[in-house]
Structure 1
Amino acid sequence: MTMYKLIATAAMGLEAIVAKEVQQLGYKTTVENGKIMYEGDEEAIVRSNMWLRTADRVKIVMGEFNVYSFDQLFEQTKALPWDSLLPVDAAFPVSGKSIKSQLYSVPDCQAIVKKAIVEKLKYSYKRNSFLDESGPTYKIEVAIRNDVATLTIDTSGAGLHKRGYRVGQGEAPLKETMAAALVQLTNWRPDRPFHDPFCGSGTIAIEAALIGQNIAPGFNRDFISEEWPIIKKDLWEKVRQEAESAANYDQPLEIYATDIDHKMVEIAKENAIEAGLGELIQFKQMQVKDFTAAHDYGVIVGNPPYGERIGEEEAVETMYREMGEAFEQFPTWSKYIITSHPSFENLYGKPATKKRKLFNGFIRTDYYQYWGTRPPRKDS
């Protein structure tokens, strides 16, 4: 097994959660804005893709160096050991970005990196003619920031938020990775009730069920690195079997998902069935003001409308007031609401116990946390 320098990319504000997940897999981490760095072998690549709930992608770092000219970019790229990963028939599209750097033309940077890798592979594989690129795909990125170039290869393919269960969605769906993070930021445990009163396409409730039964988020999808010769097929099989063994399908769950829109409730049901969780989540059309609960000490996680569209603000503000009044009747429940509305606490009727800044896509939001009363301690 070869050791690789790996990066798990993360949405702004989720770095600590992704780092914790990587650490739980057994790897030591270093955290920077938007990325968690660690070292691991081929099994680390497979396990990271299979198990990271809140990361966006897992990438291999091929090299990092200062760069001030196109000649430097070409020579230092060519010097990297591309032949250790890429076979002679590898397809390797190159994407790029450049921020605050002398080499600011992204198309030129991409073309130079591509040419340098071609030259390296032709030399390594003793080819005089062109490379046909008919084999497995290796998505390469050249990212230049403050004159430092980082060259990476994506091991995930489609972003890790694509779990494979979304057959339908609404206008502004919450990413599965963000939904998983919202659940992980609560005090919910699988033996307590869970309710999403703005379920939309069901993402938060489905992610809670996956967490509750310890089902690997990547279990029902494919990854681009499954086609790579350096990662043996039986390693993927082994990690999938381990994930199957780790799942606790017998864990009973009490998860409710409601929404004012009956069409979204039907879409959410379909998505839950696709995820294999159709029997575990109870769906219902309901307004948040009608919230009720039969049990104590539950957890609410909600992603309500933010009121950012013209004409929506008044209705949203009324709904926030009604939400506060409805939830106040259940003091043992903990409530967690994500919104970008600047006056949420005033409208809801009380200040949050705690709030955390998160980015839902490109929207800056706050995650308002209202902690319920603690259950009485059982006599030991």
Structure 2
Amino acid sequence: MGRGAKQIRSMGARVQAMVEETAFYATTADGIEDVAAVDLQKLGAQVEAWKTGRVYFRAPFPFFYRANSLARSIHRIVILLKRAKAMSLDEIYETARSLELSFIRPEQAFAVRPRRLGQHPFTSQEIGRVVGQAVIDASLQAFGQRLRVNLDDPDVALNAELLDDDLLLGIDTTGDVALSKRGYRAYQHPATLNPAVASGLIDLSGWDPSCSLLDPMCGSGTILIEAALKGWNVPPGRWRTAFAFQRLAFFDGRLWEQAKEEADAQVSQRPLQLLGIDRGLKHVKGARMNAEQAGVGEAIHIRQGDCTKDPLPSVEIVITNPPYGVRVGKRRLMAKLYGDFLDNLRRWAKKATKVLFITGEYRAFAEVLAARDLPLLHERGIVLGDLPTRLFVFHVG
């Protein structure tokens, strides 16, 4: 019997050994790691730490099935194979060379997805090359043959991330398409908010299905749709047809079907007070289309209007991602837009309203708040793609 066959036969024992406690990390937007940690804890994870858009946790090995289906504020779920200190390419090679290859079959192809943050005398591409060579060398010993490389459509994607001197080697169970790409968008707004961040804002607001929620500049409706999905317990991964874990050597179709059935069994429709306004009729129609595509059209009420001067409903929570002047609008007009909106909101608020306002024009908005003597409850930075923004939380009324 060859070494490859022995490797496959022993795989089950190794996987069983990992069931009790397996190291993972999840990626998320930089700035909502604490929210993502709570998201994972609610699903059963034991969170250990978070930093720089990553949450480190432990959970039973099959946890990735459940997390990929149900995690709302997460981009990817990664099985953490090795974590070590590394300052050189040689150290990276040695760490990668020590990997056990129970996650891949000899006939499968792999790719390395490298990423680097910090100052290093080498590039991300060099990290990818070195880790790839280490895996090939390990496969020669484990299987008696070289693993194939396929950068475009690999069976297994190996994450190799160097964050300063912190080396992470792990198996991406999600795939190249992040969990935040829900799949319900029939209409694409030119400045759409990341759904994982939208879900994080909802959690930060303290919203629950009994609360009224308004997005006065709702764009394509992402915040409202995410609230409806949360309020009805709809799995955010429902529209996804493929995950990276389905091609891994230890994929168990029975466990995956069980995870999906358990998630679907939690869906429960109830009346929700989710209200949206947008000035653009095109966006209003698009938001309604997206809500219908997500199956929550009945839960959301969206109308055309101008939140700076039209009557506004009195609600408990306002969450909005207004124009920044980067993709939509002009930056010099943002301070006026923000100020006019706040003045109108104060005019119509009949009860204390909690407001969450995220913007890339945070200096202008901070001045608007100060001029109206609205004290902050909370403020934090959140990175949207490559764009630094700030979230402001305060009360009106």
Q: TM-score, normalised by structure 1?
A: 0.89
* 2:368 matched residue in structure 1: 347
Match status 1:356 vs 2:375: no
Amino acid at match of 1:193: S
* 1:245 matched residue in structure 2: 265
2:362 counterpart SS class: coil
The separation in 2 between residues aligned to 1:322 and 1:101, in whole angstroms, is 44
Residue 103 of structure 1 and its aligned partner are, at CA, apart by 5.4
Deviations 1:304-345 (A, max 9, x none): 112357982343322222212221121413222112331325
2:295 counterpart SS class: coil
Match status 1:107 vs 2:125: yes
Match status 1:365 vs 2:384: no
Match status 1:301 vs 2:330: no
Residue 301 of structure 1 and its aligned partner are, at CA, apart by 0.8
* 1:231 matched residue in structure 2: 251
Residue 130 of structure 1 and its aligned partner are, at CA, apart by 6.2
The separation in 2 between residues aligned to 1:31 and 1:248, in whole angstroms, is 33
Which of 89, 99, 105 lines up with 1:80 in the alignment?
99
2:110 counterpart SS class: coil
| Greater Cα offset, 60-69 or 4-13 | 60-69
Q: Residues 195 and 258 (structure 1 numbering): CA distance in 2 closer, same or farther, change over 3 Å?
A: same
The separation in 1 between residues aligned to 2:327 and 2:65, in whole angstroms, is 41
Q: Is the contact between residue 89 and residue 132 of structure 1 (CA under 8 Å) also seen in structure 2?
A: no
The separation in 2 between residues aligned to 1:131 and 1:366, in whole angstroms, is 44
Amino acid at match of 1:150: L
* 2:155 matched residue in structure 1: 137
The separation in 1 between residues aligned to 2:215 and 2:62, in whole angstroms, is 35
* 1:325 matched residue in structure 2: 343
Where does structure 1 lack aligned partners over 5 or more consecutive residues?
374-380
RMSD: 2.5
Q: Residues 316 and 41 (structure 1 numbering): CA distance in 2 closer, same or farther, change over 3 Å?
A: same
After the TM superposition, which residues 175-214 of structure 1 pair with which residues of structure 2 at under 5 Å, given as runs? 175-214=194-233
The separation in 2 between residues aligned to 1:108 and 1:29, in whole angstroms, is 31
Residue 205 of structure 1 and its aligned partner are, at CA, apart by 0.6
Residue 360 of structure 1 and its aligned partner are, at CA, apart by 4.0
Q: Is the contact between residue 345 and residue 352 of structure 1 (CA under 8 Å) also seen in structure 2?
A: no
After the TM superposition, which residues 85-96 of structure 1 pair with which residues of structure 2 at under 5 Å, given as runs? 85-96=103-114
Residue 101 of structure 1 and its aligned partner are, at CA, apart by 6.0
Deviations 1:109-137 (A, max 9, x none): 2122112212222322233x664769962
Q: Residues 145 and 216 (structure 1 numbering): CA distance in 2 closer, same or farther, change over 3 Å?
A: same
Residue 52 of structure 1 and its aligned partner are, at CA, apart by 1.3
* 2:290 matched residue in structure 1: 271
Which of 305, 320, 323 lines up with 1:286 in the alignment?
305
Amino acid at match of 1:63: K
The separation in 2 between residues aligned to 1:132 and 1:146, in whole angstroms, is 27
Q: Is the contact between residue 174 and residue 360 of structure 1 (CA under 8 Å) also seen in structure 2?
A: no
The separation in 2 between residues aligned to 1:24 and 1:297, in whole angstroms, is 27
Between the two proteins, the alignment pairs up a number of residues equal to 369
Amino acid at match of 2:388: R
Deviations 1:5-51 (A, max 9, x none): 10011222111101111111122112231211112233211111112
The separation in 2 between residues aligned to 1:268 and 1:310, in whole angstroms, is 17
The separation in 2 between residues aligned to 1:360 and 1:256, in whole angstroms, is 26
The separation in 2 between residues aligned to 1:194 and 1:25, in whole angstroms, is 25
